[in-house]
């Protein structure tokens, strides 16, 4: 068979074996600004209908993460949250040394619905995880209540009205490799329409 493009078996093998790393296992060192640059560049190289760039990134370094952990605890307490909510809210900031918040920032457009723009932000999240993994780091895409509670997320991440958090991608050095998780049954999830 003649292929239209040169195959890239290394890239395909990467995609067939890639997996996130549990955030609890991510530790120092983390990429510095120079090492993060190509990862962010790869993440933003994403399908984007209408070239609207309906996303932006917020890099959280350790001091910001520590501040946000305290802010999450204060928000959980102020809204009557139990210990579990406090722990969940603090947790991902306390345990992280570097995170990138992918903010969905849809633009008004007559041909590109908002849903497509949010999907593009999701693609940025996966691109970020994959680029970090390809660069040799561990990474995990999280959300949780801190991503969705506007009373927290607006002041914490500087969200404007209409902006939402697509993901908080934590990046670090891998501790222990996680066991593989069961993967979807492709045949059961795929229908070929041949006529
Ligand atoms: C939008 C989104 C939000 C997620 N939020 C969380 C989360 O808050 N906590 C969590 O433990 N996992 C969360 N996950 C799942 C992790 O990213 C999980 O590690 C991932 O599904 C592993 O997939 P992989 O092994 O194919 O990389 C989320 C996944 C997505 C797509």
State pLDDT tens for residues 81-125: 999 999 999 999 999 999 999 999 999 999 999 999 999 999 999
Q: Are 30 and 98 in contact (CB under 8 A)?
A: yes
Question: Cα of 100 to ligand 1 centre, how many Å?
Answer: 14
Q: Are 18 and 130 in contact (CB under 8 A)?
A: yes
pLDDT of residue 153: 98
Whether residue 172 has its Cβ less than 6 Å from ligand 1: no
State pLDDT tens for residues 13-68: 999 999 999 999 999 999 999 999 999 999 999 999 999 999 999 999 999 999 99
State pLDDT tens for residues 132-159: 999 999 999 999 999 999 999 999 999 9
Closest residue by Cα to atom 9, ligand 1, is 142
**Average pLDDT, integer, range 172-184:** 88
Which phi and psi (to 5°) does residue 8 adopt?
-125, 80
Q: Closest ligand 1 atom, CA of 126?
A: 31
Q: Are 29 and 100 in contact (CB under 8 A)?
A: no
DSSP summary character for residue 193: -
Please report which confidence band the pLDDT of residue 179 belongs to, taking 50, 70 and 90 as the band edges: confident
Whether residue 120 has its Cβ less than 6 Å from ligand 1: no
Q: What is the mean pLDDT of the chain?
A: 97
Whether residue 114 has its Cβ less than 6 Å from ligand 1: no
Whether residue 142 has its Cβ less than 6 Å from ligand 1: yes
pTM: 0.97
**Average pLDDT, integer, range 170-179:** 87
Whether residue 143 has its Cβ less than 6 Å from ligand 1: yes
Q: Are 132 and 39 in contact (CB under 8 A)?
A: yes
């Amino acid at each position: 068979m003649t292929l239209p493009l040169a195959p890239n078996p290394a890239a395909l093998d990467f995609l067939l074996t890639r997996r996130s790393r549990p955030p609890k296992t991510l530790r120092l060192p983390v990429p510095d600004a120079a090492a993060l640059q190509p990862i962010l560049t790869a993440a933003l190289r994403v399908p984007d209908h209408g070239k609207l760039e309906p996303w932006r990134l917020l890099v959280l370094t350790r001091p910001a993460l520590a501040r946000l952990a305290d802010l999450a605890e204060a928000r959980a307490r102020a809204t009557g949250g139990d210990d579990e909510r406090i722990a969940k809210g603090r947790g991902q900031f306390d345990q992280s040394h570097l995170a990138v918040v992918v903010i969905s920032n849809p633009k008004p457009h007559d041909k590109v619905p908002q849903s497509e723009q949010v999907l593009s932000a999701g693609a940025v999240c996966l691109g970020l995880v994959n680029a970090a993994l390809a660069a040799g780091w561990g990474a995990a895409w999280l959300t949780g209540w801190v991503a969705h509670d506007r009373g927290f997320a607006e002041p914490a991440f500087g969200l404007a009205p209409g902006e939402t958090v697509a993901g908080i991608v934590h990046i670090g050095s891998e501790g222990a490799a996680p066991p593989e998780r069961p993967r979807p049954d492709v045949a059961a999830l795929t229908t070929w329409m041949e006529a």
